[in-house]
Amino acid sequence: MVPNVGNDYGSRRPASLLPEIGASTIEMGVTDTLYVCPNGSGTDGTTWDRAFTTIQDALAAASTDADDCTLIMISPHATNYDINTTGDPTYSGNYILRGNQRNWAKVMNTHGTATSILKFTGKVSLECLNFNLGTGSTDGVIFAKGGFRAKKCMFVGEDLTGAAVMLQTDGASVHKNGRIRDCNFLGHTTHETGGNDIDVWVSVEEI
């Protein structure tokens, strides 16, 4: 079934119309839009019917040009999107990853040798997604470039059995102009750290 797209921003319109909506309107100047849905065909991600079934496939298909920005629309998932990649799965492009509601699209990395869910070395905005650290000691999301955004997301580490960081920055100047807005951090009192290397250059807001 092709989903309708609703999100925390109040927009709700038939998914069949979204590819025709210009980048200069609601897409905030993105140069391409890709779709991720468990029921997609996995063809090329250009529509909901042809959607990739994993987030990592969409990220791999997205441009890595420093002058591009790819919007990746992520539908709800009955269980979770599993990155299932060793180490820190690292992506270098500029991306907006957008879900629907923060509880509807859970993102994990259950690989036995994973050290984080995702790492981004380009410009990135994460919106309306749930990042679940699982039961081991896998970290959450790593930002390695300034100006990052995390909006209306949930970071969950309640089932951790080892030390882990939900959200962290990596690099001497990465903190500048980052913003964390209206995010929930649900952690284990012994094993979880909400944020690492988050300093005065980062604006943390609640609305």
pLDDT digits (tens, 9 = 90+) for 171-206: 656 567 888 999 998 876 565 565 554 443 444 444
Q: What angle do CA 6, 10, 14 make, to 5 degrees?
A: 40
Q: What SS3 class is residue 69?
A: coil
* Amino acid identity, position 199: D
The model's confidence at residue 25, banded by pLDDT at 50, 70 and 90, is very low
| Record: fold of 28-205 | Pectate Lyase C-like (2.160.20)
Sign of CA dihedral 83, 86, 88, 93: negative
Give the pLDDT score at 178. 87
Q: Give residue limits of the domains in the chain.
A: 28-205
101-140: pLDDT as tens digits: 998 999 999 999 999 999 999 999 999 999 999 998 999 9
Nearest to residue 111, comparing CAs of 79, 136, 90?
Answer: 136
Integer Cα distance of 205 and 4 in angstroms: 29
Q: CA-to-CA distance for 150 and 97, rounded, in angstroms?
A: 10
The whole model's pTM is what? 0.82
pLDDT in the model for residue 6: 44
